[in-house]
């Protein structure tokens, strides 16, 4: 075998001129473990590495690209090369990156410039990743080079934040000390990004910028820690002191912006809210560093400038989210209460209960802008809560009720009567509601039955049902159209209108094509919400029926479209079947016909209920426990009287004691059996339903278990097979009789038990 | 080309076919082929053996212009109900006879009531199945222009409630309440105050009693659960396990999933300012007691309370019914 491989030198030679498929093949061949061979190291692999280095140093961009990929493959699959030549390769890649960075504008102007940067950075990141945590390698090769690499990356991060920031983030987290000298430079780059281009970055990059900004606060603590440890050991120093100051400085930035909103809404009408706003953390005057953002320029005469308020708040929330959600090497202290009250304040900024300032009420345009920014401001609070709940889960349990009542403030109501939901506004806030449902779902998994305030939930159900209908874009058009037509008829300009309406023909003939459909993500989230709601509460019939209708029609539609019913819909159908609420009939038949060929365990069980076999024994035990001794004596007597065959047997008391459980079951007492009859069926039915919930099939395990129990209890060597036969027979009998009238059930059980006794007695 | 072919065909028609020896004579072009074999021949239009007792024939008589014929037909059907109760005839019978709720003759309407009673006493399921048509015509009668028909409408309702009260309140709670209040002249929707019914109210105390009694049964059925009612046949032992189990068993009433409206097209209610709340209520599903209670107490309770007070003051037969209703209301809502 060992002689049949292609020599690495051959591959290396071909590497230079290979293209396309050949290059792919060479890379796949190099992955082979054959090349991890110490004998090859000096001759063959050395040659390979020199070839790669040559490629990396070549002035041809394509060769450079090939070199990058080959070095990554070689380092990843060949530990020998990684440990001997890894540093060399990394240095080569880095030097090319630095070179290209210096001529950034000319490189990026070429057609493949961006791709080249991408390759260089990613291959460098991979090699760094491979080298990390390997003590000698990182000490000898990696760390010294990082001092050179980091400034280059920081320079590049101004131009290509999307590519560079993930690498820098990793470096910041892992090699915090090495990063230390460059922190200030990086901070200026990041603040520049935040101040000037933040809105133009993609949402992923925005998150990266914020994450990096937060990670800058990992740095100082090591220094301060050591200092403190030496000078004042008695002083308790938390590892996260710097992190916390960063967090608090962001948190304190909110208050001035919130106070700005006081220019729009009359906060003084609501004392509670006013107090809450007052209690928000103030900006620390001494700490100027956090205050790098320019002041907001708002002008009521130019209403669109007001949009800066939600934008600024959104930026703060982004940064705060980074601070509270990022993994850190040390435990951090998060002011959950402060964040909670901040969110509460943000959600309190609405014009539902607070009036606008008097002087603003006349300007229509201004009012329009205010109406549109208020939900956005509230939404920032919801985002904060969403992160808080997803990261800290049950730690915020005490806030949950408050969160729910605040969420109610977000649901837009009609002005005239404050009870009805304004669905036209709801329609425009779909994304925001998506976040709300995610938040609610996360909370409800913790709360469940505990929750008493159902009014929010029923409102949210209405919203969910409204938003999960397909939205037509042209409804309003038709409404307006009618008015137009009338006017046109009046003015007799029909000729003119005809010529313009030609373009509209599609709208009239195929209105179904102008529809916004819901994404699967949305439906999944909504379904989860409905499932928890149905599991926890009995709804009034209107929303219940609407949910039923929604689930049935949607799952049928999706079944036709996708060929299967998505998991979340199956879950919803399940809980609808298990919790029929006020319905007289569950939708079991409909659900089953929808899920016909899916072999769903639960529905299978509901259609063909199986009996857990061990039940009968467990059922009778409580009876025995109370009157054990009396019953025992009575049994003996009765057995003697009734059973002739028993009289000849030696009246062995021990045997009786051993058999007592079973015997108690067996004795056909007329007074007892009649009420038991009812009980049995009742419990039997109940149990099956419960079992279904747990998806617990009545399995063979149980049978075996029962057998074991009986043998132990009897204390005597009972023939195991016999018992198995008995239990099976019982099960069969019960199953058969289940479909028919219930009165047949118990006699069957009783009979079998009697038989069992007879056998034992014999 | 075409011309010549046509001409040829024409010519062929007039050619005389030559007879040849040893060959059979050609058949005429209009000869009928009688060579087929059939075991039976059914001739549709000529039922020779006409069943003198065929009731399907009589269905059309329900629309006869003569009052007596209609009435007689109803009585005939009523007599033959025991024999046809399980036949296919019931659906056409009901669909044909229900429109007689709006019949102009009092006798015919009475006949229909008797027929309904007869059917109900035999098999209430059939009435349950046709519940929605009943409600349709009853609410039509409730807004009928002829006073007598309007006045009789609640009679039909009360008889229907006897057999399928649960169905009726589940399906059309708001609609019927609106109707009954309208008949009583308390309506909020149509402002029925100037209509005949109110003008003749004092003269027709008897009708008002019927209306009030119907309202009583309606509220009782809709807002009180079976145990509280504790009435006749439903007082059987109902334990928790039955409640748990029954949704999964085969239902003992027709069309169990109708209220889901999976196959019906729902009307969109435009937000017209005037009776918007009522429109919203009409789209409400009133399958459970709580919803019905809430809807009643929000929409109807104040006016019913106010009006019963005045009627009680007037006293008489109406006063009795009104005070009964008042008691029921206070037992449910207080």
Which tens digit of pLDDT belongs to each residue from A687-718? 444 444 444 444 434 444 443 444 344 444 44
Predicted confidence (pLDDT) per residue in A226-239, tens digit: 444 455 555 566 77
Nearest beta carbon to residue A686 from set B241, B259, B285 = B241
Measured in angstroms, the CA of A516 and the nearest CA of chain B are apart by 19
Q: What's the pLDDT at B46?
A: 58
Domain membership of residue B223 (yes or no) is yes
Task: Answer whether residue B228 shows pLDDT above 60.
Answer: no
Domain membership of residue B136 (yes or no) is no
Residues 6+ apart with CB under 8 A from A737: A744, A745, A748
Among A161-175, A347-361, A740-754, the range scoring the smallest mean pLDDT is A740-754
Q: What's the pLDDT at A272?
A: 86
Q: What's the pLDDT at A650?
A: 40
Q: What percent of chain B has pLDDT over 70?
A: 81
Which range is most confident: A244-248, A549-553, A642-646? A549-553
User: CB B244 to CB A586 under 8 A?
Assistant: no
Domain membership of residue B181 (yes or no) is yes
Q: How far is CA A216 from CA A121, A150, A213, A238, A283, in A?
A: 21, 14, 5, 17, 20
- Kindly list the residues from chain B whose CB atom is less than 8 angstroms away from the CB atom of residue A685: 241, 244-245
Predicted confidence (pLDDT) per residue in A449-472, tens digit: 666 667 888 889 999 998 888 877
- Kindly list the residues from chain A whose CB atom is less than 8 angstroms away from the CB atom of residue B261: 545, 549
CA atoms of A63 and A430, how far apart (whole Å)? 49
Residues 6+ apart with CB under 8 A from A309: A257, A260, A261, A296, A298, A373, A377
CB B163 within 8 A of CB B127: yes
Q: What share of chain B is helix, strand, coil (3-state, %, to 5)?
A: 65, 0, 35
Assess B262–A contact: CB distance below 8 Å, yes or no.
yes
Q: What's the pLDDT at B159?
A: 92
- Kindly list the residues from chain B whose CB atom is less than 8 angstroms away from the CB atom of residue A584: 246-247, 251, 256, 287
Task: Answer whether residue A643 shows pLDDT above 50.
Answer: no
How would you label A521-533 residue by residue, b for 16+ Cβ within 10 Å and e otherwise? ebbbbbbbbbbbb
Q: What's the pLDDT at A745?
A: 43
Domain membership of residue B38 (yes or no) is no
How high does pLDDT run on average in chain B?
A: 80
Residues B82-95 have a mean pLDDT of: 88
Domain membership of residue B107 (yes or no) is no
Nearest beta carbon to residue A540 from set B245, B260, B288 = B288
Nearest to A246 by CA among A151, A160, A328: A328
Strand, helix or coil for residue B255: coil
Residues A642-671 have a mean pLDDT of: 42
Residues A143-148 have a mean pLDDT of: 87
Q: What's the pLDDT at B124?
A: 87
* Total domain count, chain B: 1
Helix (H) or strand (E) holding B45: none
| Nearest-by-CA chain B residue for A739 | B249
Any idea which residue has 């006949």 for tokens?
A: B111
Nearest beta carbon to residue A689 from set B244, B251, B291 = B244
Assess B275–A contact: CB distance below 8 Å, yes or no.
no
CA atoms of B284 and A91, how far apart (whole Å)? 73
Residues B236-253 have a mean pLDDT of: 72
Selected residue with higher pLDDT from A746 and B75: B75
Q: What's the pLDDT at A480?
A: 62
Predicted confidence (pLDDT) per residue in A335-394, tens digit: 899 999 999 999 988 887 788 888 777 788 888 888 899 999 999 999 999 999 999 988
Q: What's the pLDDT at B201?
A: 54
Predicted confidence (pLDDT) per residue in A521-554, tens digit: 999 999 999 999 998 888 888 889 989 999 999 9
Domain membership of residue B228 (yes or no) is yes
Task: Answer whether residue B15 shows pLDDT above 80.
Answer: no
Task: Answer whether residue B237 shows pLDDT above 70.
Answer: no
User: CB B251 to CB A587 under 8 A?
Assistant: no
CA atoms within 13 A on the CB side of A193: 27
Predicted confidence (pLDDT) per residue in B59-87, tens digit: 888 888 899 999 999 999 998 888 888 88
User: CB A580 to CB B262 under 8 A?
Assistant: no
| Nearest-by-CA chain A residue for B287 | A541
Domain membership of residue B313 (yes or no) is yes
Task: Answer whether residue A725 shows pLDDT above 60.
Answer: no
How would you label A143-176 residue by residue, b for 16+ Cβ within 10 Å and e otherwise? eebbeebbbbbbbbbeebbebbbbbbbebbbbbb
CA atoms of B108 and B111, how far apart (whole Å)? 5
Beta-carbon count within 10 A of B190 CB:
11
- Kindly list the residues from chain B whose CB atom is less than 8 angstroms away from the CB atom of residue A546: 285
User: CB A685 to CB B287 under 8 A?
Assistant: no
Helix (H) or strand (E) holding A163: helix A161-174
Q: What's the pLDDT at A240?
A: 77
User: CB A681 to CB B241 under 8 A?
Assistant: yes
What is the β-pairing status of strands A515-516 and A471-472? antiparallel
Selected residue with higher pLDDT from A207 and B271: A207
Domain membership of residue B184 (yes or no) is yes
User: CB B239 to CB A682 under 8 A?
Assistant: yes
- Kindly list the residues from chain B whose CB atom is less than 8 angstroms away from the CB atom of residue A587: 257, 260
CA atoms within 13 A on the CB side of A603: 23
User: CB B290 to CB A689 under 8 A?
Assistant: no
Residues B87-102 have a mean pLDDT of: 90
Beta-carbon count within 10 A of A597 CB:
6
User: CB A545 to CB B287 under 8 A?
Assistant: yes
Any idea which residue has 């009972």 for tokens?
A: A718
Task: Answer whether residue A675 shows pLDDT above 80.
Answer: no
Nearest to A6 by CA among A65, A48, A49: A48
Q: Quote the domain boundaries for residue B202.
A: 165-239+257-334
Predicted confidence (pLDDT) per residue in A653-667, tens digit: 444 444 444 444 443
- Kindly list the residues from chain A whose CB atom is less than 8 angstroms away from the CB atom of residue B239: 682
How high does pLDDT run on average in chain A?
A: 76
- Kindly list the residues from chain A whose CB atom is less than 8 angstroms away from the CB atom of residue B286: 541-542
Please name the residues between 220 and 239 in chain B that touch chain A, using a CB distance below 8 Å.
Answer: 239
pLDDT-based confidence at A260, cuts 50/70/90?
Answer: confident
Q: What percent of chain A has pLDDT over 90?
A: 22
Among A71-75, A210-214, A514-518, B5-9, the range scoring the smallest mean pLDDT is B5-9
- A584, A691, A745: best mutation site toward chain B, by most B Cβ within 10 Å? A584
A and B: number of Cβ contacts within 8 A: 61
């Amino acid at each position: 075998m060992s002689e049949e491989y292609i020599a690495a030198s051959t591959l290396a030679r071909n590497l230079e001129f290979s293209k396309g498929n050949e290059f792919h093949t060479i890379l796949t061949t190099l992955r082979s473990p054959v090349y991890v061979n110490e004998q090859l190291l000096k001759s063959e692999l050395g040659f390979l590495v020199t070839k790669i280095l040559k490629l990396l140093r070549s002035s041809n961009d394509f060769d450079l690209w090939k070199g990058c990929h080959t070095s990554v493959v070689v380092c990843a699959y060949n530990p020998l090369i990684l440990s001997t030549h890894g540093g060399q390769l990394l240095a080569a890649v880095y030097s090319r990156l630095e070179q290209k960075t210096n001529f950034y504008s000319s490189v990026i102007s070429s057609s493949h410039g961006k791709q080249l940067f991408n390759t260089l950075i990613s291959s460098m990141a991979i090699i760094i990743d491979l080298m990390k945590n390997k003590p000698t390698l990182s000490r000898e090769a990696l760390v010294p080079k990082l001092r050179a690499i980091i400034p280059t990356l920081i320079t590049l991060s101004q131009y290509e934040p999307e590519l560079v920031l993930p690498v820098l983030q990793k470096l910041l987290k892992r090699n915090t000390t090495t990063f230390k000298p460059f922190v200030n430079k990086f901070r200026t780059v990041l603040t520049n990004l935040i101040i000037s281009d933040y809105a133009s970055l993609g949402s992923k990059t925005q998150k990266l910028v914020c994450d990096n900004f937060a990670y800058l606060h990992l740095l100082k603590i090591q220094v301060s820690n050591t200092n403190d440890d030496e000078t004042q050991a008695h002083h308790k120093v938390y590892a996260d002191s710097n992190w916390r100051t960063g967090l608090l400085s962001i948190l304190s930035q909110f208050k001035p912006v919130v106070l700005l909103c006081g220019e729009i809404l009359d906060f003084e009408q609501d004392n509670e809210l006013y107090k809450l706003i007052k209690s928000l953390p103030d900006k620390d005057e001494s700490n100027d560093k956090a205050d790098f953002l320019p002041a907001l320029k708002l002008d009521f005469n130019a209403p669109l400038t007001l949009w800066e308020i939600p934008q600024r708040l959104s930026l703060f929330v982004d940064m705060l989210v980074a601070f509270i959600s990022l993994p850190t090497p040390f435990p951090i202290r998060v002011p959950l209460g402060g964040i909670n009250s901040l969110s509460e304040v943000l959600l309190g900024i609405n014009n539902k209960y607070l009036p606008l300032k008097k002087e603003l009420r006349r300007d229509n345009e201004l009012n329009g802008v205010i109406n549109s920014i208020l939900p956005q401001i509230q939404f920032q609070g919801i985002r904060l809560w969403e992160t808080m709940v997803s990261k800290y889960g049950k730690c915020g349990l005490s806030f949950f009720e408050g969160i729910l009542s605040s969420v109610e403030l977000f649901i837009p109501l009609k002005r005239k009567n404050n009870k009805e939901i304004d669905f036209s506004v709801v329609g425009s806030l779909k994304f925001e509601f998506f976040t709300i449902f995610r938040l609610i779902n996360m909370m409800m998994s913790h709360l469940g039955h505990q929750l008493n305030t159902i009014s929010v939930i029923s409102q949210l159900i209405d919203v969910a049902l409204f938003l999960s209908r397909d939205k037509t874009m042209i409804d309003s058009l038709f409404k307006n159209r009618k008015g137009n037509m009338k006017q046109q008829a009046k003015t007799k300009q029909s000729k003119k209108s005809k010529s313009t309406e030609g373009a509209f023909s599609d709208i009239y003939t195929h209105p179904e094509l102008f529809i916004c459909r819901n994404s699967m993500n949305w439906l999944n989230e909504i379904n989860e919400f409905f499932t928890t709601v149905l599991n926890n509460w009995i709804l009034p019939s209107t929303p219940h029926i609407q949910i039923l209708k929604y689930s049935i029609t949607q799952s049928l539609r999706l079944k036709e479209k996708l060929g299967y019913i998505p998991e979340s819909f199956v879950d919803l159908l399940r809980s609808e079947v298990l919790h029929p609420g006020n319905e007289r009939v569950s939708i079991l038949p409909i659900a089953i016909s929808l899920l016909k060929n899916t072999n769903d365990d639960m529905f299978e069980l509901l259609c063909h209920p199986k009996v857990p076999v061990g039940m009968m024994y467990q059922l009778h035990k409580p009876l025995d426990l109370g009157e054990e001794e009396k019953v025992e004596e009575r049994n003996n007597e009765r057995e003697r009287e009734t059973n002739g065959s028993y009289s000849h047997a030696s009246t062995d008391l021990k045997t009786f004691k051993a058999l007592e459980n079973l015997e108690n079951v067996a004795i056909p007492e007329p007074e007892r059996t009649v009420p038991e009859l009812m009980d049995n069926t009742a419990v039997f039915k109940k149990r099956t339903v419960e079992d279904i919930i747990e998806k617990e099939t009545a399995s063979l395990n149980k049978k075996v278990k029962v057998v074991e129990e009986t043998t132990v209890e009897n204390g005597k060597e009972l023939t195991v097979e016999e018992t198995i036969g008995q239990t099976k027979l019982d099960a069969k009998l019960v199953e058969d009789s289940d479909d028919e009238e219930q009165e047949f059930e118990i006699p069957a059980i009783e009979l079998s038990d009697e038989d069992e006794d007879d056998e034992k007695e014999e | 080309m075409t011309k010549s072919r046509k001409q040829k065909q024409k010519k062929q028609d007039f050619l005389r076919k030559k007879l040849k020896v040893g060959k059979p004579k050609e058949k005429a072009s209009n000869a009928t082929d009688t060579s087929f074999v059939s075991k039976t021949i059914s001739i549709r239009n000529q039922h020779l053996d006409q069943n003198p007792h065929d009731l399907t024939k009589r269905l059309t008589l329900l629309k006869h212009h003569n009052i007596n014929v209609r009435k007689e037909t109803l009585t005939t059907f009523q007599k033959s109900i025991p024999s046809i109760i399980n036949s296919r005839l019931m659906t056409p019978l009901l669909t044909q006879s229900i429109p007689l709720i709006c019949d102009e003759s009092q006798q015919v309407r009475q006949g229909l009531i008797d027929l309904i009673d007869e059917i109900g006493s035999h098999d209430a399921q059939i009435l349950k199945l046709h519940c929605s048509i009943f409600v349709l015509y009853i609410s039509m009668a409730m807004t009928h222009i002829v006073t007598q028909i309007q006045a009789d409408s609640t009679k039909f309702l009360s008889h229907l409630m006897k057999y399928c009260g649960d169905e009726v309140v589940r399906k059309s709670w708001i609609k019927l309440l609106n109707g009954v209040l309208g008949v009583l002249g308390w309506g909020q929707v149509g402002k029925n105050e100037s209509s005949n019914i109110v003008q003749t109210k004092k003269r027709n105390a008897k009708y008002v009693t019927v209306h009030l009694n119907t309202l009583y049964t309606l509220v009782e059925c809709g807002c009180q659960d079976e145990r509280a009612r504790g009435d006749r046949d439903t007082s059987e032992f109902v334990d928790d396990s039955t409640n748990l189990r029954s949704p999964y068993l085969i239902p003992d009433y027709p069309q169990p999933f109708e209220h889901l409206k999976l196959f019906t097209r729902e009307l969109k209610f435009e937000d017209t300012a005037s009776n918007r709340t009522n429109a919203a209520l009409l789209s409400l599903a009133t399958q459970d007691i709580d919803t019905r209670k809430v809807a009643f107490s929000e929409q109807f309770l104040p006016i019913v309370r106010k009006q019963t007070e005045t009627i009680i003051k007037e006293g008489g037969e109406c006063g009795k019914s009104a005070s009964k209703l008042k008691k029921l209301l206070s037992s449910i809502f207080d």
